[in-house]
């Protein structure tokens, strides 16, 4: 719930009447000079009376002008408006990000490498999903849940930042990655259930057939967006380690099973994307963000604090003060 306070005039057109005040001031000046001209300036007493009369008239007219100004502003109906906004979230979206962390994800065709480029984009994606629950599944030669589905985005972002190559056996078990993600979502009560499956290779490991995992996802109403990450052609990929344990790189052919990724997406009502650059990868996640939106109902409650009453009282008070001064303290000058 969020509250904002704003000041406004209900009838601002009346404020144009304030332009009359300078005209009345000029008329006051002329009127005062005429009064003074009627006094005889042959004696010191007449001069003093003329000066006093001028001050009295100025003061009383200032009170009248201030009273008129207050009435004009009161006609414009000034008020404070407190707007309280309350969002009601309908059943949202549960998302699992199933991410390939095999050795080929260290390829340098995306900068600084595929895995680091993905982590940056995935964090930004999480920031854009404040109303959804997100989980993270990692897979290579096998799969495991890094973070269960949660609404705590700080946990999800810390998880993404901590992803490293080498935590699990190398390989590319697409079927196991998809199956683990389906297992996390199958009992979800969310309005929409989505998996973002990212890989840069071909299914070469694991005990779960990717097509069987696809049927499982389809059977429980899970939509799968698939992403093939990597350039077309050759890319600098790790192929071995030297005696110090440092990875060695050489140009290798990029192989992504796009036919399988398209099949998974088509069967589940999702879409297949190919990310061959950092910019394209970001664009893909932005597009998925637009395709999957949680419905939010916004209710606004308005509380009005009318201010014109105080201005009317001020105007009346100034007029009463002017009348009392004119008929008591300043009576001898007029």
Per-residue pLDDT for the chain (334 aa), expressed as one digit of tens each?
A: 556 668 889 999 999 988 888 887 887 767 666 655 554 444 444 444 455 555 766 777 788 888 989 999 999 999 988 877 765 555 579 999 999 999 999 999 999 999 999 999 999 999 999 889 999 999 999 999 999 999 999 999 999 999 999 889 999 999 999 999 999 999 998 889 999 999 999 999 999 999 999 999 999 999 999 999 999 889 999 998 888 888 899 999 999 999 999 999 999 999 999 999 999 999 999 999 998 876 655 567 778 888 889 989 998 988 888 888 878 876 665 5
Q: What is the pTM of this model?
A: 0.64
**Per-residue pLDDT tens for 169-179?**
999 999 999 99
Residue 309 host element (H or E): helix 308-327
Torsion of CA 269, 275, 278, 283, to 10 degrees: -30
E strand intervals along 64-205: 78-89, 93-100, 133-139, 143-150, 192-199
| Domain at 91-294, CATH class | alpha beta
Exposure of 316 in the CB half-sphere (CA atoms within 13 A): 7
Of the candidates 151, 199, 212, the one whose C-alpha atom is nearest the C-alpha of residue 173 is 199
Q: Rounded to an integer, what is the distance from CA 122 to the centroid of its chain?
A: 18
Q: What residues are paired with 296 via a beta bridge?
A: 89
Of the candidates 316, 333, 214, the one whose C-alpha atom is nearest the C-alpha of residue 269 is 214
* Cα–Cα distance for residue pair 177/261, rounded to 1 Å: 13
* Cα–Cα distance for residue pair 68/30, rounded to 1 Å: 19
**Per-residue pLDDT tens for 32-64?**
666 555 544 444 444 444 555 557 667 777 888
Q: In terms of residues, how long is the chain?
A: 334
Kindly give the residue spans of alpha helices, DSSP state H, lying in 76-191.
114-127, 153-161, 174-185
β-strand 234-241 against 296-306: which pairing, if any? Answer: unpaired
Q: What residues are paired with 86 via a beta bridge?
A: 299
Tell the residue number behind the tokens 């707007």, with chain if given. Answer: 83
The answer to whether 253 and 234 have CB atoms below 8 angstroms apart is: yes
What pLDDT is stored for residue 43 in this prediction? 47
Token pair recorded at residue 140: 């290579």
Q: Where are the domains of the chain?
A: 2-82+301-333, 91-294
Residue 66 CB contacts under 8 Å (≥ 6 apart), including other chains: 318
The answer to whether 326 and 334 have CB atoms below 8 angstroms apart is: yes
* Cα–Cα distance for residue pair 188/176, rounded to 1 Å: 19
Residue 263 CB contacts under 8 Å (≥ 6 apart), including other chains: 211, 214
């Amino acid at each position: 719930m969020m509250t904002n306070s704003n000041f406004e005039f209900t009838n601002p057109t009346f404020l144009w009447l304030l332009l009359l005040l300078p005209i009345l001031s000029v008329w006051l000046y002329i009127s005062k000079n005429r009064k003074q001209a009627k006094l005889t300036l042959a004696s010191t007493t007449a001069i003093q009376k003329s000066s006093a009369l001028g001050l009295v008239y100025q003061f009383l007219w200032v009170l009248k002008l201030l009273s008129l100004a207050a009435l004009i502003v009161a006609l414009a109906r000034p008020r404070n408006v407190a707007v309280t906004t309350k969002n009601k979230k309908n059943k949202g979206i549960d998302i699992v990000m199933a991410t390939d962390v095999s050795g080929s994800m260290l390829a340098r065709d995306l900068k600084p490498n595929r895995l680091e480029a993905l982590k940056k984009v995935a964090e930004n994606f999480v920031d854009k999903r404040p109303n959804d629950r997100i989980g993270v599944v990692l897979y290579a030669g096998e799969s495991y849940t890094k973070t269960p589905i949660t609404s705590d985005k700080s946990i999800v972002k810390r998880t993404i930042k901590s992803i490293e190559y080498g935590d699990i056996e190398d390989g590319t078990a697409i079927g196991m990655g998809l199956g683990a993600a389906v297992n996390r979502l199958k009992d979800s009560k969310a309005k929409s259930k989505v998996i973002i499956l990212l890989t840069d290779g071909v299914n070469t490991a694991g005990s779960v057939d990717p097509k069987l995992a696809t049927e499982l996802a389809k059977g429980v109403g899970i939509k799968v967006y698939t992403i093939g990450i990597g350039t077309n052609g050759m890319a600098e990929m790790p192929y071995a380690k030297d005696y110090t344990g440092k990875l060695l790189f050489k140009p290798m052919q990029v192989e992504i099973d796009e036919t399988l990724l398209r099949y998974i997406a088509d069967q589940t009502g999702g879409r297949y994307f190919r990310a061959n650059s950092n910019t394209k990868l970001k664009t893909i996640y932005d597009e998925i963000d637009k395709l999957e939106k949680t419905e939010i109902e916004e209710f606004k409650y308005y509380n009005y604090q009318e201010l014109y009453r105080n201005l009317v009282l001020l105007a009346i008070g100034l007029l009463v003060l002017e009348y009392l001064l004119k008929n008591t303290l300043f009576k001898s000058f007029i």
